[in-house]
Structure formats: C-alpha cells, structure tokens
Amino acid sequence: MRRYAYAIPYWLWIGLFVIAPIILIVYYSFFDIEGHFSLVNYETFFTPVYLRMTFNSFWYAFLITAISLLIAYPTAYLLTKTKHKQLWLLLIILPTWVNLLLKAYAFLGLFGTYGAVNALFEALGIGTKQLLFTDFSFVFVSVYIFIPFMILPIFNALEKLNPSLIDAARDLGANEWTTFRRVIFPLTLDGVKAGCQAVFIPSLSLFMLTRLIAGNRVITLGTAVEQHFLVTQNWGMGATIAVFLMIAMASIMALTGNKKWGVRQ
C-alpha cells in the first residue's frame, strides 16, 4: 500500500467530490422544504408540470444534438480535405475558449430588435422579427455554442480512418455515397457518439441561456434545478430533479458509450 501513498489526495477527491455529492443529492431528494423526511418531491415530479418540463428538456436537447450533428459532420469531413487542416481545426476550437457568457451576450445584440440579423431581414424585405426570447434563439445559440464539441471528435475519427479502406471500397465497386454509407460513417460512429454525448448532456443544464436568450420562455430541468437551489431554496425538489438528470445521464452513457459496438464493426 505504501506505493499508493502518493495518490492519497486523489482517493480523497474521489470520496469527497465524486461519491459524497451523489449520495448527498439522493439523500436531500427525500426531504421536503420544511426539512421533513418525505416522498413529496417525487410525487411532485410526476405531476404534469414537471413531466412536461422533462419532456421539453429532452426534446430541446435532442434538437440541439441533431442539428449540431447535421452541421458538424459535413464540416468535419470537409475540414479533413483542406490543406492546412490543423490550422483550420484550431480555428474551430478557438471560439470554445471565448467565455460562453460572452457569446450568449453577443447574441443579445445580434438578435435584438434593431440587431444585425433583423437589419438583414429588413434589407431582404422579410421584415423585422422577434428573435430574442423565442425557442428558436435558444436552440440556435445552443447549437452555436456546442458545435465545436461535435466537430472535434468526428474530425478525429475521420482522421484516424485508414485511407486505404476508402480506396478498397472504391476498388470493390462502391460509389462515393455507398462508400460513405457503408464504410466511412460506420467507422466514424464512435466519434459521432462522443460528439452526441458532449452535446446532449450539457444541453440539459443550460439555465443561463434559458434566462438570457430565451427569456424564461424555455424552462428546462437545468433551469428548474437552479431555480430550486438558488431562488426558492427548495433544495429537496432541486435534488429530486437532479436525481432524474443523473439517471438520464447514466442511461445515455450506457447507451452510447458501449464499447462492444466497436468490436461488432
């Protein structure tokens, strides 16, 4: 055991900041707002209001993930074909290092009633639209924020792909589309899954965007957790929602993180 002594801080971290918080969340979910032990939070969670919110959260998360994937895959694919691909990739990563709040803030200006986008709409003759504080702006900004995290793993998966496999497919008579569908896409599926994980899970907890961009029109589970912990001080209810978020997260991980998939290919 002596040789593991150097890792004591790490073991402490696992105990205090990984295991303990999970236990605490579950523990708190069994207390009502007055601090009495009860199952009232779970009863509340299964009322239409919360079930609807849960459904909405997952629907938005799904939309954000799907749109990100649709835009990111071609982007990643085209990036691997460019000349200075490492430089272009760096340019994709660079915006992720700009604070998320600043990017959200930028859209306050862009999407504002007199903002650049509406000015463009005006010029095109579409007319001014209410962009801010809509579902659309929430999804758009979320996709904007997450898209590099989708591009990156797909790009890496494409880069790892052995180019002679594509030659082989072409040699065996597959056209470009068949090659993509039967060879390239299946072999980059791990990258796609990693990307979906990196987008879907965080998009469940974008409370700051719902507040800034969607103007409380979109209430997701993440917003509700924040509301209960920091505004209404009903920690029990917040913890209950967190429990369901954790369950959802674990099932998504189990679904997409299955390594056996790789073997089957």
Partner 1 sequence: MKVSRLYLAFVFFVLYMPIFYLIYYSFNSGGTMHHFESFTLDWYKEVFADTRLLVIVLHTMIIALLSSSLATIIGVFGAIAIYYAKHRWKQTLLTLNNILIVSPDVIIGASFLILFTIAGIQLGFTSVLLSHIAFSIPIVVLMVLPKLQEMSPTLIDAARDLGANEWNVLTKVVLPYITPGIFAGFFMALTYSLDDFAVTFFVTGNGFSTLSVEIYSRARQGISLSVNALSTLLFLFTLFLVVVYYVMTQRTSVKGGQK
Q: Give the Cα separation of 117 and 106 in Å (integer).
A: 12
Is residue 133 close enough to count as binding partner 1 by CB under 8 A? Answer: no
We find the least distance from the C-beta atom of residue 47 to partner 1, in angstroms, to be: 21
**Contact 245/225 with Cβ under 8 angstroms?**
yes
Judged by CB under 8 A, the residue of 85, 144, 170, 234 near partner 1 is: 144
Strand partners, 31: 37
Is residue 92 close enough to count as binding partner 1 by CB under 8 A? Answer: yes
Is residue 251 close enough to count as binding partner 1 by CB under 8 A? Answer: no
As to burial, measured by CB atoms within 10 angstroms (0-12 exposed, 13-18 middle, 19+ buried), residue 206 is buried
Judged by CB under 8 A, the residue of 39, 52, 62, 109 near partner 1 is: 109
Q: Which stretch binds partner 1 (CB under 8 A): 4-12, 122-130, 131-139, 156-164?
A: 4-12
Question: Tokens representing 108?
Answer: 């306050």
Judged by CB under 8 A, the residue of 49, 51, 70, 119 near partner 1 is: 119
Judged by CB under 8 A, the residue of 31, 107, 138, 155 near partner 1 is: 107
Q: For helices 48-81 and 135-160, what crossing angle results, to 10°?
A: 40
What part of residues 199-218 is at the interface with partner 1 (CB under 8 A)?
Answer: 201-202, 204-205, 207-208, 211-212
Pattern of binders to partner 1 over 157-196, x per CB under 8 A? Answer: ----------------------------------------
Judged by CB under 8 A, the residue of 89, 131, 147, 157 near partner 1 is: 147
- Looking at the Cβ atoms of 95 and 262, the one nearer to partner 1 is 95
- Indicate the residue type of 151: I
Residue 213 main-chain phi, psi, to 5 deg: -95, -40
We find the least distance from the C-beta atom of residue 197 to partner 1, in angstroms, to be: 7
Is residue 255 close enough to count as binding partner 1 by CB under 8 A? Answer: no
Check residue 216 and give left, alpha or beta (phi > 0: left; psi -120 to 50: alpha): left
Q: Give the Cα separation of 193 and 69 in Å (integer).
A: 10
Dihedral of CA atoms 110, 112, 116, 121 in degrees, nearest 10, equals 130
Is residue 100 close enough to count as binding partner 1 by CB under 8 A? Answer: yes
Neighbours of 211 (CB within 10 A): 16
Residue 59 main-chain phi, psi, to 5 deg: -60, -45
Is residue 3 close enough to count as binding partner 1 by CB under 8 A? Answer: yes
- Looking at the Cβ atoms of 169 and 221, the one nearer to partner 1 is 221
What part of residues 29-88 is at the interface with partner 1 (CB under 8 A)?
Answer: 71, 74-75, 78-79, 81-82, 88
